[in-house]
Amino acid sequence: MSRTKGGVVTHARHKKVIKAAKGYYGRRKNTFKVARQAVDKANQYATRDRKNRKRNFRALWIQRINAAVRSHDEALTYSRFINGLSLAGIEVDRKVLADLAVNEPGAFGAIVKQAQDALAA
């Protein structure tokens, strides 16, 4: 029986890690052992930050909506505006509201007016 060597598979695995470490500084880019540690850590950060990105965007949308609501009515806060939307039966998510606030101030003003009317009633 002939001897099996793992050179091809090992080389391919090493090449994949070294390719993923392209652009890193020092031995992290060309030494397999160090590159594997760096790539593993980078993948941990990437996994964690995919969740964090969603949180950051939601916080950004809320800040934009709050600023736009206060520019239409000083007394109206973000939480009261969201309450008014639910009372008015308007189901628009925060991403769309923030986009309207930035790009379509007139349409956003109409939504604010409806929310105010629902709160007053």
Burial label, 43 (beta-carbon count in 10 A; 0-12, 13-18, 19+) = exposed
Range of the domain at 41: 11-120
Query: How many distinct structural domains can be found in the chain?
Result: 1
Three-class SS state of 25: coil
| Structure tokens, 104 | 């379509």
Q: Specify if 34 maps to a domain.
A: yes
Residue pLDDT, tens place only, 67-121: 999 999 888 999 999 999 999 999 999 999 999 999 999 999 999 999 999 999 8
**CATH number for the domain including 58?**
1.10.1900.20
| Structure tokens, 60 | 């950004």
Q: Specify if 5 maps to a domain.
A: no
Cβ 107 vs Cβ 70: under 8 Å: no
Please tell me the pTM assigned to this model: 0.78
- Structure letter (DSSP) for residue 4: P
Percent of the chain with pLDDT over 70: 100
